[in-house]
Amino acid sequence: MFAAYFTRQVAADETAGTAQWGYATAAAGAVIALAGPVLGAIADQGGRRKPWLAAFTGLGVAATAALWFVAPDPTGAGVAEALVLVVLATVGVELAVVFYNAMLPELADPRHVGRWSGWGWGLGYAGGLACLVVALFGFIEEPGWFELPRDEAAHVRATFVLTAAWLAVFSLPLFLLTPDRPGAGRRLASAARDGLRQLVRSLAHIRDYAVIARFLLARMLFVDGLATLFAFGGVYAAGTFDMDERQVLMFGIALNATAGAGAFAFAWFDDRVGSRATMLVSLAGLIVTSSALLLVTDPAVFWGVGMLLGVFVGPAQAASRSYLARAAPARLRTEMFGLFALSGRATAFLGPLLVGWVTWLAASQRVGMATIIVFFAAGAALLLTVPEQRDGAGAAG
């Protein structure tokens, strides 16, 4: 939603806005890539994960709420403020997810990690769907449930505050009802020192974790494609098919519905057939549907293919998490999920950067978005070299 709003009403023009959005997304990815493994290693030494989770969730909530102050400006004067807040919000939420993901293996039965990961991702999409429905009918539709002035896009900016409040409220059950590991009774400085040493040792002996290394490299490629798709999906829909904010929201609702359904449906497949197989099937589906999206010119067909694409998004994400939950050594779990975040961000600058550059060079959003398919194909090819993991089968090989 904010991506479309930014390119259409904050940036000087849509082409420049697309490129600027790519640069901001790349900057956030660089921060996450550097900080994720380090913070994960520190948390493994310190014991508790919830304090870290709370701090970064708070950052994400505050920065998202502050997007309210980014008003439309055809001169592009608000671009810097908008992009700084986007970077902060992205960094906060993504680093919180490092600690959230690392809690999964300790909360779920090892035999059912796949379904809990899939169900969790599916519920996340269900929550996103509900939030989008409230945003659409509460603020965007006219008349809406909450009447706000249409000048200065107050009705659109209110959805950013809604998103922040939604994240804050629905994070509470996690903090109040789930257990955390006991603290190790160590000072932060000591945990940080030993965590950094452990991270250096892990990286120096990466061959001892060859399966995980290849998996993370494969994930780095296909998640780069997914992240770029998320970052530019609304921008592409708005620019190529002239969708307004209301239509982008409705498209987002449809995608959340099919992505959630896909995550739920493939959760059983993950536990029965395997996380690797689930990822490969999902990537094949993403390659086919993404290619079709770039070829269609009819808005109705775009909608249909886009909803089908959503079916494969959730399983690819959920299965990658359950794969690492099974493969990571327990003593290095948060560190490994920090590297998991690194694998999703190490080259995160590359996808948005390529889309921005190719869009600018070709003066075509359609041509620029075609670079996403390359990341899906490369990730799938490397994933073929990774063996299946079953119930903590290990990471060597």
Give this prediction's pTM: 0.70
Q: 210 vs 44, 86, 206, 221, 288, CA distance in Å? A: 21, 35, 6, 17, 30
CA–CA distance, 131 with 363 (Å, rounded to integer)? 34
* pLDDT at residue 395, rounded to an integer: 46
- Domains parsed from the chain with CATH numbers: 2-383 (1.20.1250.20)
The DSSP letter of residue 9 is: I
Alpha helices, DSSP H, located in the chain: 2-5, 14-46, 50-65, 79-102, 104-107, 113-135, 154-177, 188-204, 210-240, 245-273, 275-295, 299-327, 333-345, 350-362, 365-369, 371-383
Q: Measured on CA atoms in the order 365, 370, 371, 372, is the torsion positive or negative?
A: positive
pLDDT in tens, the chain (397 residues): 677 777 777 777 777 777 787 788 778 877 887 777 777 767 666 667 788 889 999 999 999 999 988 888 766 667 888 899 999 999 999 888 878 877 776 776 667 777 777 777 788 878 878 887 888 888 777 766 777 677 777 788 888 999 999 999 999 988 888 877 666 556 666 666 666 776 676 666 666 677 888 888 898 888 888 877 776 776 777 767 777 767 777 787 788 788 888 888 888 888 888 889 999 999 999 999 988 888 887 888 888 888 898 889 888 888 888 888 887 777 676 667 777 766 666 666 677 777 777 877 877 777 777 888 888 999 999 999 988 876 544 444 4
- Six token digits for residue 162: 């809604």
